Structure 1
Amino acid sequence: MENQHVIAFYNLENLFDTIDDAHILDDDFTKKGFKKWKNKRYLAKTRKLANAIAKIGEDEGLAPPVLVGVAEIENKRVIERLLGEDALKHLDYGYVHYDSPDERGIDTALFYRKENFEVMESETLALLVNNEFGDRDFTRDILYVKGRLNGEVVHVFVNHWPSRRDGAKLTAYKRIAAAHTIIEKLEQIRLVEEEPHVLIMGDFNDDPNSESIKTLMQTGWFINPMQKLLSPTLGSANYRGKWSLFDQIIVSHSFLNHEPGAHSFSKAKIFAPHFLQEWKGRYKGTPFRTFGGKKYLGGYSDHFPVYLILKQN
């Protein structure tokens, strides 16, 4: 199925190397840190994640993703380690990555298969929000990449919006601000392109029905094919027995056209094969994570990847 292409997003759950970086709060992920993050564990994680990424879309009989947005990576070193693993190195992925001001040093990135995607330009969009004390809250930037997907110009935003750690309602304004940051960039783009092809992917720390996502949808520019995937029995992450769908890929209406050569939206899915799940016990069926608190579990991530299929007409 050469004319069908997988676009994926995956939160990699703290993909840190073992080297202590004095400029960020990565001490937990060092050999002597809280997580006892040794080389053996780090290499096992990159190997497992590479295998998982290579298999996204396999359940639909499709080739590995042409684009993969990722969250929770520490730096370029871990990206190169991951893309150099046996499962991925033959696929010839390039990547776009910038260091963000996040205090823990976790960033987003976009991986792309060079045979399918050509980067034209990229930048980070700073998310300028303050905490409750009026000081700037240093969080992840939004990664913006403009490129040609099989010859068609697309605009990709990779996100990891501020967490709900201090409470969903108290922190909602930060995620709404992130939505407005994307809208402002798109308003500039739309001065040049009347109907741009846009992919907004990420861990939004909000479900499809949250105010922040509604802020994007109220522009009338998008459809959210992930909306119907959330149910009481499935999502992309599970916290205390409750499913959420914080991981989403939102597409512009332009992906509904069927002109020759253009890409059109076909299907959206959560990638949750048996090997990415806990196999037994009270957490059976939830993501097989690397850590449960301090305890090393040896899994992949605390999120399932999500993906959609674009058909090239």
Structure 2
Amino acid sequence: MKKILHQLIVIIGCLVMTTHAFAQDAEALHETGRSFMRQGDFPSALQAFDKALAIKPDAIDILKDKAFVYYLQRDFASTIELSKKITEREDADAQSFQILGLAYKAIAETKESEKMYKKALTRFPKSGALNCDYGEFIAASNPADAIKYWEKGIEADPNYSGNYYFATKYYAQKGNIIWGLLYGEIFVNIESLSKRSEEIKTILFGGYRKLFDDLSILDNPKQNGTPFEKAVAQNLSDLTSFGRFGITPEMLTALRARFILNWYSNSQSKGLVFPLFEYQRRLLRQGHFDAYNQWLIGTNADAQKYTQWVQQHGEEVKGFQQYQRSNLFKIPAGQYMLH
């Protein structure tokens, strides 16, 4: 009896070890496929994923990567076929629906996209990415509804950059100066190195120029805004004298330094916590505020002067860049200003 029991234990142990070895092989093949995918070698990536799936046919992460490689190859029919199977699974995540949405967008399949996004947001209402994608999907036909989804995405996932990108453009176009400026600056701090960041910096510069061309733009938020909007608008109105110097990084540094000092000493803004202002205050205290404002609008204000400033202030630039890399801008959950 003991001998039989011992044999059973040995057999079970071998099975466990074999299963573990197969799992490791699948993981190694999956990572190999991802490496090929990053290199742009999509046929080799698919071969590696197929070998991994031969070992673990239900591995959803491998299936998602395979669907995404199909998309990158512009094989949208295969992307859709595989992604639809994935999104039917109980363990499908928000990213699974995103991949399907990308394929539908590529072939302009609006009817199926609408059904898919509604289903996805029913399952994942707090997905910043899905709210962002659906907002972009309906923006052309219904921008008033699109901004609602971008705002939902910001509230649910405040560190997902895409919703700020689209919300900034929406508010800038609608003449909502406060949220165009605030969301734009949040965006460039979260997504600081992308092409979209340069686009939003241009919008920010234009926003400050519009503000000082016509300060009456603040009248509506001062009178009809939320307590937060009223406090921001009043604080900016109190600093109108700065506008006569033109929109330069130096002017912006002086204006915003005074704004932050006023914000944290004014009873009207007491208790109104806003992460962007907290970040600006830290930059002021650490001595990086000049370099930060140069980084923010320098190129758009005067590219030649900005280049000269960078050359003449190498240590300041280096110090700010090091601070920026080691103190990534993050918004704590729950710090969302309703408007």
Does TM-score exceed 0.5, indicating one fold? no
Larger-Rg structure: 2
Q: Which has the higher strand share?
A: 1
> Could you say which structure has the greater relative contact order, defined with CA pairs below 8 angstroms and 6 or more residues apart?
1
Structure-1-length-normalised TM-score = 0.26
Q: Which has the higher helix share?
A: 2
